């Protein structure tokens, strides 16, 4: 699934024959997309527990980083990318995609959402009897 009309048009023009081929194309170019799975509509909501991740951190404008700061950043980055749901970084595009490319293989995306998708994932509910979930 893509959010951009331009990306949808690009897919039509490139005439992909398989979904994995399209996903590989998106991953290789940092084009945002999702690998949603469908299921009958339910009233379940993703469980939104407070994140224990502090992200990759931030510093004040005039902060002068030290070597230990960069090492801490690398450790936080590597820890983040070891999580199963980090596959979403490859599907996000932008700078997070750029960071993820060297840490996560495309096979992590091509297998679809993780086992925790219904607990921690994102749901899209169009009108009707089906909902679509992804990490």
Express each pLDDT in 9-48 by its tens digit: 888 898 888 888 999 999 999 999 998 888 887 766 666 6
16: which 2 tokens? 């992909």
Rounded alpha-carbon distances, angstroms, from residue 107 to 11, 78, 80, 99, 122? 20, 18, 17, 17, 20
Give the per-residue pLDDT at 33: 92
What's residue 90's pLDDT? 92
- What's the distance, CA 109 to chain centroid? 8
Mean pLDDT taken over the chain: 85
Q: Is the dihedral of CA 27, 72, 83, 54 positive or negative?
A: negative
pLDDT for 51 beyond 80: no
Is residue 54 pLDDT above 60, yes or no?
no
Show the CA angle centred on residue 112, arms to residues 115 and 53, nearest 5°: 60
Nearest to 123 by CA among 70, 71, 45: 45
Of the candidates 80, 91, 82, which has an alpha carbon nearest to the alpha carbon of residue 36?
91
Mean pLDDT of 97-101: 92
List, for residues 80-90, the tens digit of each pLDDT value: 899 888 899 99
């Amino acid at each position: 699934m893509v959010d951009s009309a331009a990306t949808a048009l690009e897919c039509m023009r490139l005439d992909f024959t398989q979904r994995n081929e399209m996903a590989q194309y998106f991953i290789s170019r940092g084009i945002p997309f999702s690998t949603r799975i469908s299921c009958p509509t339910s009233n379940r909501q993703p469980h939104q527990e407070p994140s224990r991740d502090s992200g990759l951190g931030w510093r004040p404008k005039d902060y002068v980083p030290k070597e230990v700061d960069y090492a801490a950043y690398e450790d936080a980055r590597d820890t983040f990318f070891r999580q199963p749901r980090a596959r979403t970084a490859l599907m996000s595009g932008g700078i997070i995609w750029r960071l993820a490319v060297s840490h996560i293989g495309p096979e992590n995306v091509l297998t679809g959402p993780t086992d925790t998708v219904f607990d921690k994932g994102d749901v899209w509910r169009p009108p009707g009897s089906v909902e679509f979930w992804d990490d």
